[in-house]
A and B are shown apart, each in its own frame.
Chain A
Amino acid sequence: MSSVLYDTPGPRAKRRNVVYTIAFVAVLALVAWWVLAALNDKHQLDADKWSPFVTDSEVWTTYLLPGLTETLKAAALAIVIALPLGAALGIGRLSDHRWVRVPVGVLVEFFRAIPVLLLMMFASALYREFTTVSSDFRPMYSVVTGLVLYNASVIAEVVRAGVLSLPRGQGDAAVALGMRKGQTMLYVLLPQAVTVMLPALVSQLVVIVKDTALGGALLGFEDLLSQNRQITANYGSNTIATLTVIALIYIALNFLLTTFASRLEQRLRRGRKSPSATLPAQAGAPEAKPEAVSGA
């Protein structure tokens, strides 16, 4: 698309682009130089602040990897519980019965409007006051509860949009074959909707992974981010080095998930071409990921 916006550069445009490139490099270099000089000035680039991550395997085995495990555990639990719950809510919202459709709709809209952090804090307070969940697990439970409530309602919308994006004829044909409503949904509509939804669901996983960090910062969850405090307490305030390593792990993890999502999307789009009757191109696609932006 972008190539439509400008002509193929001629000699003058090429020269101008070179000037722009040089100016841009100069600005970037200036910023980088300022940051590095300031860091160096504060002794944050000293080798002994960074070397533990390379030379000392214990910093990985004692802090980073256990923290990453907790992060992944919470994210996996959240998606595994939220998926069936969200599917149920999404189907409930499509119900023919008003008394199912309306309350489910209210529930979904409510949990979508509340910041996930508030849900986590509320869950944490509830577990503290009304249950005997041991304090080892309470942060994890709170984080997972908050993530499930929020993401189930997001997934409900994805499922609903996915089903609605299917051509009417699919449902009508199922009815004509004498299928009951449940059968129509389970055997005809959902299997097709799943292929439309999958990329949106995988990118929702990125949102979930990112949101687990909230628990680490504010609810005492022993996740990857929370290892920052213990590492800096042991290795002489190497805050910059530790945060950089932690951020890189998050980025690598989410980058893998994002790449997986776009691969999946391409593959599905290719697969969709042959039985072209099933889906009009991209019908519900923008609708199918209503919340891809959200999350912290």
Chain B
Amino acid sequence: MKLRSVSAAAAAAVVLALTATACGGGSDSGSNGDKINIGIKFDQPGLGLKTPDGTYAGFDVDVAKYVAKELGYSEDKINWKQAPSAERENLIKNGDVKFVVASYSINDKRKKEVDFAGPYFLTHQDLLVRADDNTITKVEDLNSKKLCSVTGSTSAQNVKEKLAPKANLQQLGGYSECLTGLENKAVDALTTDASILAGYAAQKENQGKFKLVGLKMSDENYGIGLKKGDDELRGKINKALEKMVSDGTWEKLVKEHFGPSGYKYEPAPKVQN
């Protein structure tokens, strides 16, 4: 009757496993108890990056910390959640996070599903090239070049549909994969928002290797995404963002995170109430 005990053990294991994983799905309001859940990127240096010591660093992270503090949550009350580009609307709609600060451009399609506070940063689609490469100076040059971007990103679609339909475009899973190719000359340029590119160029391992071309191929206004119709929260966040600009924190953070790359950032955009 060994089999009976084996199957009993297996059944017990199933039940255990199911309850163990189900426990995590509990929180529904984006803040459990006195904690607050905030969605950020985990893999974008300069904006939102999970660093080796398990903490998070970047401009978006610091903005989120500032806003959370204004909302009454100190740093140790923040639960960071990963918000990959394709998941941001879902995270907000399901209430998994209170708000998302993750290089989140405000556009009409997204506005149908979520509300935005801000904008808190204005950037443009740009190109990152090797530091010694001067062959790309205007958008048309791309038609004869090898270009890399992330699968399904707006930057990739922008290139394919408008900017340079003839460019040889490679779409990979993440920007750091593109960077490997760029460094080793498998591709000639990496395209996405200048702020993201600047984050990579400013990393200490990459300093002096890459440069931004400085083309303004689109306008991207970064906003803080939150649940549709939550005007109270939106008002509070907007007030926090305005304060952040007026007390000089914004300037300080931008310098700290984008300064080393030589990225010429735009002045703080006006918050739209």
Contact = CB atoms under 8 A, between A and B. Distances in A.
A136 B2 CA distance: 38
B145 interface: no
A217 B96 CA distance: 23
B24 A235 contact: no
Interface in A66-108: 76-77, 80-81, 83-84
A229 B25 contact: no
Nearest to A237: B180
Chain A binding surface SS class:
helix
Contact of A237 (B2, B13, B90, B183): B183
A135 B50 contact: no
Interface in B2-47: 2-3, 7, 10-11, 13-14, 17, 21, 24-25, 27-28, 42-45
B206 interface: yes
A191 B2 contact: yes
A171 B96 CA distance: 55
B21 A77 contact: yes
A136 B203 contact: no
Given A229-B173, A229-B177, A236 B2 contact: no
Nearest to A141: B21
A145 B128 CA distance: 40
A101 to B, nearest CB: 22
Contact of A137 (B1, B25, B42, B206): B25
Contacts of A135: 81, 87, 90-91, 94, 96
A262 interface: no
A155 interface: no
Contact of B176 (A84, A132, A136, A229): A229
B205 interface: yes
Interface residues of A, number: 40
Interface in A183-238: 186-187, 190-191, 194, 217, 220, 222, 229-230, 232-237
B206 to A, nearest CB: 6
Interface of B: 1-3, 7, 10-11, 13-14, 17, 21, 24-25, 27-28, 42-45, 49-54, 81-82, 84, 86-87, 90-91, 94, 96, 173-177, 179-180, 183-184, 203-206
21 contacts: A58-B54, A61-B54, A62-B51, A77-B21, A80-B10, A80-B14, A83-B10, A84-B10, A132-B94, A133-B25, A134-B96, A135-B81, A135-B94, A136-B96, A230-B43, A232-B177, A232-B179, A233-B44, A234-B52, A237-B206, A239-B177
